């Protein structure tokens, strides 16, 4: 895991080769721990480089998984972990489709990347995700507009395991300093906020709904 429990600093992974970059990330990990909201540093594959204790707390009830833990690769968690809808409210439109759109853009920029190719193969092997990627995603982007795929500024629902928050919302803040950006990393912070009461029950219903089908893809006949 990127975060080392017990009040220790976050340890970057994968560890960069440059001693200067290593030192910067260790210090940045200490800074990240001072942030009270879930915050994570990702590379272009969505591998988690750094995360803080609040991020770990948000996903503390997630069950073990061989490839899709939120502390390992956030994209795989959103797409493939069966527990993702229990934390990420409105899982399909609030999280899954924007992440798929970001993945499609990353494939265009880094098509040679073996890790991204591996994720693409995983999507292809999952009939639901493959249908969403090939057919549902273009339809959704046309319907909601290109701006909906952006993470920074988006307000997205969460189902926090801490009852002090419960069914709530977060504003995603993209705040990547130049040094991190030059390393190819992105930082996202989920600023928790009070949810509208009417939206909470809707998100709870969405969390209980099975992941056997995505609504942006027509239901198969038969």
User: pLDDT (tens digit, 0 to 9) for every residue of the chain, 222 residues total?
Assistant: 343 333 445 556 666 778 999 999 999 999 999 999 999 999 999 999 999 999 999 999 999 999 999 999 999 999 999 999 999 999 988 899 999 999 998 998 887 889 999 999 999 999 988 998 988 888 888 888 777 778 899 999 999 999 999 999 999 999 999 999 999 999 999 999 875 554 444 444 444 344 444 565 544 444
pTM of the entire predicted model = 0.83
Helices (H), the chain: 19-33, 53-58, 74-80, 84-87, 97-109, 114-125, 127-131, 137-144, 178-182, 197-208
């Amino acid at each position: 895991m990127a975060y080392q429990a017990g009040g220790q600093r976050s340890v970057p992974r994968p560890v960069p080769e440059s001693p200067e970059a290593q030192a910067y990330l260790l210090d940045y990990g200490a800074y990240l721990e001072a942030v009270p909201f879930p915050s994570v540093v990702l590379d272009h594959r969505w591998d988690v480089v750094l995360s803080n204790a609040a991020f770990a707390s948000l996903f503390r009830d997630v069950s073990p998984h061989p490839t899709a833990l939120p502390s390992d690769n956030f994209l795989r968690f959103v797409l493939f972990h069966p527990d993702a809808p229990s934390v990420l409210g409105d899982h399909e439109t609030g999280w899954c489709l924007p992440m798929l759109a970001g993945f499609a853009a990353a494939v265009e920029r880094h098509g040679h990347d073996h890790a991204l190719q591996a994720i693409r193969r995983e999507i292809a092997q999952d009939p639901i995700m493959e249908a969403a990627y090939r057919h549902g995603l273009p339809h959704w982007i046309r319907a909601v507009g290109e701006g909906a795929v952006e993470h920074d500024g988006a307000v997205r629902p969460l189902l926090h395991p801490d009852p002090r928050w419960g069914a709530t919302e977060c504003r995603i803040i993209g705040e990547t300093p130049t040094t991190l950006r030059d390393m190819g990393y992105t930082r996202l912070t989920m600023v928790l906020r009070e949810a509208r009461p009417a939206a909470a029950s809707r998100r709870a219903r969405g969390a209980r709904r099975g992941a056997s089908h995505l609504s942006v893809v027509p239901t198969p006949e038969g």
